[in-house]
Amino acid sequence: VGNPEDREAVKDTEPQRRSLYKAVSQLVRAYANVADDMEEAGYHPATAQRIFEEVKFYKNLKQEVLIASNEYIDLKRYEPGMRQLIDYYIGAEESRTLSTFEDLGLIELIVEKGETAIDDLPPNMRKDKTAMAETIESNLRKVIIEERPSNPAYYEKMSVLLDELIQLRKEKAIAYEQYLKRVVELAGKTKKPGAGSPDYPSAINTGARRALYDNLYRNEKLTVALDEAVRYTKKDAWRKNKFRKKEVQFKVEEVLNEHGIHAPEEVERIFNLIVQRKEY
């Protein structure tokens, strides 16, 4: 998975992870083909048990990497039959941990359950506080990277907060219990940006407005004017129709110009942000 401090680590190590997932899946399938006939195939019971333990080890390794890299939901889509093989030949308990994360990711679980979410991590991870912390940090980093286009200014702040938290942990400048509390707080801010925060004026009351406000130098008047203009101008499926898209882009430029913002790169930056916001 790589160093959680490195913003590109998860992306850079993806080929190695994909190779691991594929190799372990092939191993599990090959084992499943002979598991019921090991004795007939000439394997001594002790050898058969050793093979079982090795398959189980690599299956657990794959599971831990999936969780650490926040790729467990992808597995459900690409390997729908793997769960049944693991349940039958390696043990249902061994796959139960991964199933916990398929509908709710680790960060969503932390937001929902708080510090107790770590109880859902695999036993080997729970035994190692450093591995557990790095798993949470890698998941937070990936969420921040994925969400960044929807509010670059806000998620840059979240990235800095994560960097600071990682540094505090590594320097042992914070107790582990306090670290977990800070993780829960940061997870909440990452998944629910600005919700209930006193940092926003009362008129900045939607996710779209908060994103505009964060990226328009906290200009409330401009934010409200632009939000209303885009909502009034946009037509159905405007992103897929180049004429409708241009219409919205011209309106964005017009409103920004009226508020003293004329630089083409600034207009493009804010328009790209609006394209990313699902509310529009």
pLDDT of residue 206: 93
Same domain, 265 and 229: yes
For the stretch 215-274, pLDDT in tens is 999 999 999 999 999 999 999 999 999 999 999 999 999 999 999 999 999 999 999 999
pLDDT exceeds cutoff 60 at 76: no
Q: Hey, CA dihedral for 28, 30, 35, 36, is it positive or negative?
A: positive
Assess if residue 201 is contained within a domain.
no
Same domain, 178 and 221: no
Q: What are phi and psi of 26, to 5 degrees?
A: -65, -40
Assess if residue 132 is contained within a domain.
yes
Same domain, 157 and 245: no
Assess if residue 225 is contained within a domain.
yes
Average pLDDT over residues 25-31: 86
Same domain, 157 and 113: yes
Average pLDDT over residues 14-35: 86
Assess if residue 38 is contained within a domain.
yes
pLDDT exceeds cutoff 80 at 83: no
pLDDT exceeds cutoff 60 at 74: no
Domain boundary among 191, 222, 245: 191
Same domain, 153 and 223: no
Assess if residue 217 is contained within a domain.
yes
Same domain, 102 and 240: no
Please tell me the least confidently modeled range out of 22-26, 120-124, 131-135, 261-265.
Answer: 120-124
Same domain, 269 and 148: no
pLDDT of residue 32: 85
Assess if residue 237 is contained within a domain.
yes
Same domain, 19 and 91: yes
pLDDT of residue 197: 72
pLDDT of residue 126: 83
Range of the domain at 241: 207-276
Same domain, 150 and 269: no
Average pLDDT over residues 181-193: 91
pLDDT of residue 267: 97
3-state SS record for the chain: CCCCCCCCHHHHCHHHHHHHHHHHHHHHHHHHHHHHHCCCCCCCHHHHHHHHHHHHHHHHHHHHHHHHCCCHHHHHHHCCCHHHHHHHHCCHHHHHHHHHHHHCCHHHHHHHHHHHHHHHCCHHHHHCHHHHHHHHHHHHHHHHHHHHHHCHHHHHHHHHHHHHHHHHHHCCCCCHHHHHHHHHHHHHHHHCCCCCCCCCCCCCCCHHHHHHHHHCCCCHHHHHHHHHHHHHHCCCCCCCCHHHHHHHHHHHHHHHHHCCCCCHHHHHHHHHHHHHCCCC
Average pLDDT over residues 197-207: 88
Assess if residue 202 is contained within a domain.
no
Same domain, 146 and 251: no
**How many distinct structural domains can be found in the chain?**
2
pLDDT of residue 86: 58
Percentage of residues in the chain having pLDDT higher than 70:
87
- Which of 4-18, 84-98, 222-236 is modeled with the greatest confidence? 222-236
Domain boundary among 191, 218, 233: 191
pLDDT of residue 6: 72
Percentage of residues in the chain having pLDDT higher than 90:
48
Tokens of 264: 């083409």
CA pair distance 280, 273, nearest whole angstrom: 10
Assess if residue 4 is contained within a domain.
no
CA pair distance 212, 198, nearest whole angstrom: 17
pLDDT exceeds cutoff 80 at 96: no
Q: Is 42 left (phi over 0), alpha (psi -120 to 50) or beta?
A: left
Domain boundary among 191, 215, 230: 191
pLDDT exceeds cutoff 70 at 67: yes
Same domain, 28 and 140: yes
Rounded to 5°, angle at Cα 52 from 48 and 58: 145
On whether the CB atoms of residues 225 and 236 are closer than 8 A, the answer is no
pLDDT exceeds cutoff 90 at 212: yes
Amino acid at 259: H
For the stretch 136-178, pLDDT in tens is 998 899 899 999 999 999 999 999 999 999 999 999 988 988 9
Same domain, 74 and 36: yes
